[in-house]
Amino acid sequence: MERFDAIVIGAGPAGSTAAYRMAKGGLKVLLVERAKVPGGKNLFGGRIYSHILRKHFGNFESDAPVERFVVRETIGMMDESDCASIDFVSRRSEANKASSFIARRSRFDKWLADKAEGAGALLVPGTNVEDIVVRDGAVRGIVSGGDTIESECVVNAEGVTATIARKAGLRSDVSPSQVKVGVKETIELGKDRINDRFNLSDDEGAAGVFIGYPASYLSASGSFVYTNSDSVSIGLVVDPIELSGARKDVQLMIEEFRLHPYMQRLLKGGRMIEYSAHMIPNSVPLEPSNLVGNGFLNTGDAAGLFVNHGFTYRGVDFAIASGIAAADAVISAHSAGSYGRDSLMSYYEYLAREVIPELRRAEKTAGVLHNKRMFSTYPPFVLDFLEDMFRFDGVGKTPVSSSLRKNMKGRISTLTALRDMLSAYRKL
C-alpha cells in the first residue's frame, strides 16, 4: 500500500494551502475531501483579506476567482422599519485594488485545491475520513470507507466540527458556547442592478454589516451583505444558546432581514439561488495541547482560528496562515526524520507569535458585543433621535438636547449610557 509523508484532511482554505506548501517542499502529500468538488459544501459570508494570498501566492488576482474588490464599507443599525448607516468609500482601496475581496467558496476552494494539485499533491475528493490510525502513540494515517491509508503525519483541516480532532484527543466535545450559527442566502440580481443600487462600477464591491433588527434581542449577533459579481450574499450570525432561549428560528430571521425596507431597496426583483447554514468557531481554547500532537496538527476552524469583531468576520486568512505554518513544521520534521510532537512544535510557536495575540485582542474587543443594549436599546434610540433631527413638520424644531433626553427617557439612564461608552472605549 502506498505511504505518504503527510495526509491532509479537508480541502478548505487551511487544507489546500497546507497541501500546496508541503507538495512544493517536495513531500508526498495526499489531500482528501469529502465533497465531490472542493468547496462544494462550504459556506462563508464572502470577504477574504488579501494580505495572506499576496504573501504566499504573489499576484493571486491574475487567476483567482475574485467576484469583486471591496471599495465600499457600510456599518448600520436597524429597527423593524428604519436603518442608520455609515458608508465608507476608500480612494486608497480603489487605487490599490482593496485589501479585501469577495469570493464564492465553490470557486475559491476549487482554485486553491487546483494549486495544491498543481504543486504535486494527490487530491482525492468524495472521500470522507472516518478515523485516524494511531501507532505507538502517534497518528500514522487515516481510515476512509473501511480502508487504511498510512502516512508519517496528518494535518487536520476538517473545519469547525472537529470530529477527527476529537478522535486524536486534541479537542473535547464542541460545546454550544464554542460555536455561533451562520445562515446565508445568495440572491441573483444581475451586474447592472448591483452596480446601480450599491453605487459601484466594474469590479468594485461593497461589504455591509448591521446590528439590531432582526436580532435585537440577541447579543453578539449581526447581519451582513456582500456583493458578488452578479448576485448578492446576505446572512446572519447568531449565538445558538441565546437563540434557543429566545425561541427564534434563523430561517425566519434571515427572511425578516431580506424583507427589511432598506434591504428591499437593494434586493428588489432578485431571485434566491442558494440557502445554507453553517457553524463558526467561538472562544475555542488555543493551547499547544489543542493544536499539536504526535504526528498530528490542527489547523483553521478545526483549531478555532476565527475572529468576529462585529464589523469584520475573519476565518479564511487565519486558515491559510495556519495551513502554511503547519506545512512548514511538517517540512522541518521531515528533514529531521521525526514527526513527534516536539518536532512539530514550531507550528504552535508560529501561531503563538503571529496569530494567537490577534485572536486574544479580538476577543477583548468582542466583549463590547456581549452588551445586549448594543443590539436592543441603542439601535431604536439612534433611529428615533435621527428621525427627530431630520424631520420637520412646520411646527418648530425640537432642540437636539431635548430630543436626546426624550429618546433616552424610559430606555436608558445617562449614567448607564456613559458607563457603556467608557466600557466600549476600554475594550476597543
Ligand X SMILES: Cc1cc2nc3c(=O)[nH]c(=O)nc-3n(C[C@H](O)[C@H](O)[C@H](O)COP(=O)(O)OP(=O)(O)OC[C@H]3O[C@@H](n4cnc5c(N)ncnc54)[C@H](O)[C@@H]3O)c2cc1C
Taking CB under 6 A as the criterion, the residue among 25, 76, 182, 205 binding ligand X is 182
In the list 45, 141, 293, 310, the residue contacting ligand X (rule: CB under 6 A) is 45
Per CB under 6 A, the list member of 83, 157, 284, 359 interacting with ligand X is: 157
Q: Least distance from C-beta 308 to ligand X, angstroms?
A: 9
- Binding part of the chain for ligand X, among 198-206, 309-317, 343-351, 385-393 by CB under 6 A, reads 309-317
| Residue number with CB closer to ligand X (101 or 381) | 101
Task: Note whether 132 binds ligand X by CB under 6 A.
Answer: no
Cell reading at 231: 448576485
159 binds ligand X, rule: CB under 6 A: yes
Residue 319 lies near ligand X (rule: CB under 6 A): yes
CB of 386 to ligand X, least distance (A): 28
12 near ligand X, rule: CB under 6 A: yes
Euclidean distance between CA atoms 23 and 5, whole angstroms: 10
User: Toward ligand X, which CB reaches closer, 82 or 109?
Assistant: 109
Our CB check for ligand X shows the closer of 72 and 383 to be 72
Q: How far is the CB of 161 from ligand X (least distance, A)?
A: 7
Give whichever of 124 and 382 is closer to ligand X, judged by the CB atom: 124
Closest distance of CB 304 from ligand X, Å: 10
369 φ, ψ to 5°?
-75, -10
Residue 41 near ligand X by CB under 6 A = yes
Judged by CB under 6 A, the number of residues near ligand X is 41
Q: Output the residue with the shortest Cβ distance to ligand X.
A: 315
251 binds ligand X (CB under 6 A): no
Question: How near is the Cβ of 317 to ligand X at its closest, in Å?
Answer: 6
The answer to the question of residue 48 lying near ligand X (CB under 6 A) is yes
Residue from 214, 295, 300, 304 in contact with ligand X (CB under 6 A) = 300
**Which of 6, 22, 64, 316 contacts ligand X by CB under 6 A?**
316
Which is closer to ligand X, CB of 158 or CB of 204?
Answer: 158
CB of 387 to ligand X, least distance (A): 32
Chain residues that interact with ligand X, rule: CB under 6 A: 9-15, 32-35, 41-48, 128-129, 157-159, 164, 182, 184, 235, 237, 278, 280, 300-302, 306, 313-317, 319
